[in-house]
Amino acid sequence: MKWKNKEIIVGIEIGTTKIVSLVGEILQNKEIKVLGLGTYPSKGINKGDIHDLELLIKCIKKSISQAEKMSNYQIKKINLAFSNKYIDYRNEIGMVSIQKDEVTKKDIEKVIKTAKSIKMYDKYHILHILPQEYIIDEHQGIKNPLGLSGIRMQAKVHLITSDYSIEKNIIKAIEKCNIEINKIIFSGLASSKAILTEEEKQLGVCMLDIGGGTIDILIYINGSLQHSQVIPYAGDSITKDISYAFSSSLTDAENIKIKYGCASSFLQENFQNVQITRPNNKSKILNQEKLTEVIESRCLELLEIINHQIINVQKRLKFQGQKYNLNSGIVLTGGVAKTKFFTDCAKKIFQMPVKIGYAKNIQETSEKIKTPEYSTVIGLLYFKNNKKKNKNNFFINKNNWFYNFNNWFNA
């Protein structure tokens, strides 16, 4: 059967505003073919904190069901995106003596183990270990030391850490849906996999994933991740401001933001008074100029917070004698990045090149999925199955006779 030879991977992102499930096939040319997509409003969770487990489980199941129906696969294992304000990082160094004349895989494993052997705060654990560079004797900037000769080797690594108690609750929600987790991946890391090029990382780039509840900040210098951070303010802050300013529900405010929102009163022309129809059929007049002022004010505030963080990272790197310039500028992704004139607003604050990042290596037939709000879930598909021998255990094909028989028998 042809489907057995396909490399299918499933990603799920549980955000503050929506839950996205994506079934994708990794083609031989490394392109991604989207087979199934499910999106459902997120309830029971806010900025990574679960406050109603049962409600969240129902929402996850709805999103998964949509993706299964579209792809004709039953999802049984996933890569899960994970982000909250407790995500943190540490740059550490490990050192070992090279046992033989040249570096072996065992030496690399040992030096990485040394670098990650740090005392962690209570409830925190290491989510990702990302090597930055290796140093053999006095030779720096080595990306792959395997086979090189020397006496002593150092490894500089970027460790992304998370609060395990929050992570455990997310795992519980997924497992209650009868789904196994293959890998848990920091959302920002997944987004950067989807949209950043190796050249951008080498030249220096800052990626901002501005979603509904959080902003993920990742800074790459000289090809390596130097800084990763989560700010617990994002698109929902703008929505709440609109809700307060116009005495509307959060749902109405979100719709108003998407349909009529703009991040620059200077660039916007021809402000209008827009008639909004409410569920009770009572209409309300919306002043678009006032709406723009509300959105612009919050956007500028968020961008100033981010800029402050970027400047601090650059100062630290400069003090340490490392490269610190972001020659590729700022790359934006996430739903807020689509706000009209938001890029122009960002250029004003950052004083460097700013652009919206779009997912690469996506088949042309999947144009909808290339929009910024899907960057994270696309990036999840780049993280392969842990079990190399069986690359199809992310799903069960619904055309499989055993699956159909089992469903009928248990109906």
CA distances for 214 relative to 15, 47, 380, angstroms: 9, 6, 18
Contacts of 364 (CB under 8 A, 6+ apart): none
CA distances for 147 relative to 85, 136, 182, angstroms: 40, 11, 31
Across 288-394, the runs of DSSP E, i.e. the strands, are 330-333, 354-356
Residue 337 pLDDT class (50, 70, 90 cuts): very high
Q: Report the top-level CATH class of 88-164.
A: alpha beta
Distance between CA atoms of residues 243 and 217, nearest Å: 27
User: 193 by DSSP, 3-state: which?
Assistant: helix
Q: Phi first, then psi: give them for residue 224, nearest 5 degrees.
A: -120, 150
Fold category of 198-357 in CATH: Nucleotidyltransferase; domain 5 (3.30.420)
- Picking from 293, 249, 240, the residue whose alpha carbon sits closest to that of residue 271 is 293
Please state which of the ranges 42-51, 129-138, 304-313 shows the lowest mean pLDDT: 42-51
Task: Quick: pLDDT tens for 79-117.
Answer: 999 998 889 999 999 999 998 889 999 999 999 999 998
Check if the beta carbon of residue 386 is closer than 8 Å to that of residue 337.
Answer: no
Indicate the length of the chain as a whole number.
411
Please give the model's pTM, rounded to 2 decimal places.
Answer: 0.89
Check if the beta carbon of residue 136 is closer than 8 Å to that of residue 146.
Answer: no
* Domain segments of the chain as ranges: 88-164, 198-357
Task: Quick: pLDDT tens for 251-296.
Answer: 888 988 988 889 988 888 777 777 776 666 667 788 889 999 999 9
- Picking from 298, 372, 377, 292, the residue whose alpha carbon sits closest to that of residue 338 is 372
Helix and strand numbers (H, E) in the chain are 11, 20
Query: Over 60: is that where the pLDDT of 237 sits?
Result: yes
Give me the percent of the chain exceeding a pLDDT of 90.
Answer: 67
